Amino acid sequence: MINSEIRAMIEENLEDELVSSLDEIDDDEELLIVGIDSINLVSLILLIEDKYDISFDIEDIDMENFNTISKISQKVETMING
């Protein structure tokens, strides 16, 4: 469920940055490869924090946690569910 919500955020806010249609992007595909740069990623992180009323620790914000839709979703689910 969170995967689809993250996809919707990307579609609504960052679709112009993508080199492919969002429908063609797999949840495990690296976002940097499909056109999301570090500035776009920070924007996405801020949107996620606002939507889910969470705050990522600075240590959490690295490409290992945020380089795919699946990893972002897993991180968000962990923070929501504790």
What's the CATH superfamily of 2-81? ACP-like (1.10.1200.10)
In three-state form (DSSP H/G/I as H, E/B as E, the rest C), the secondary structure along 12-75 is: HHHHHHCCCCHHHCCCCCCCCCCCCCHHHHHHHHHHHHHHHCCCCCHHHCCHHHHCCHHHHHHH
Looking at residue 16, its pLDDT comes to 80
- Per-residue DSSP letter, 82: -
Looking at residue 50, its pLDDT comes to 94
Domain boundaries, the chain: 2-81
Looking at residue 13, its pLDDT comes to 80
Q: Global pTM?
A: 0.84
Q: Does 49 have pLDDT greater than 90?
A: yes
Query: Binning pLDDT at 50, 70 and 90, where does residue 36 land?
Result: confident
- Stretch 48-77: mean pLDDT, rounded? 89
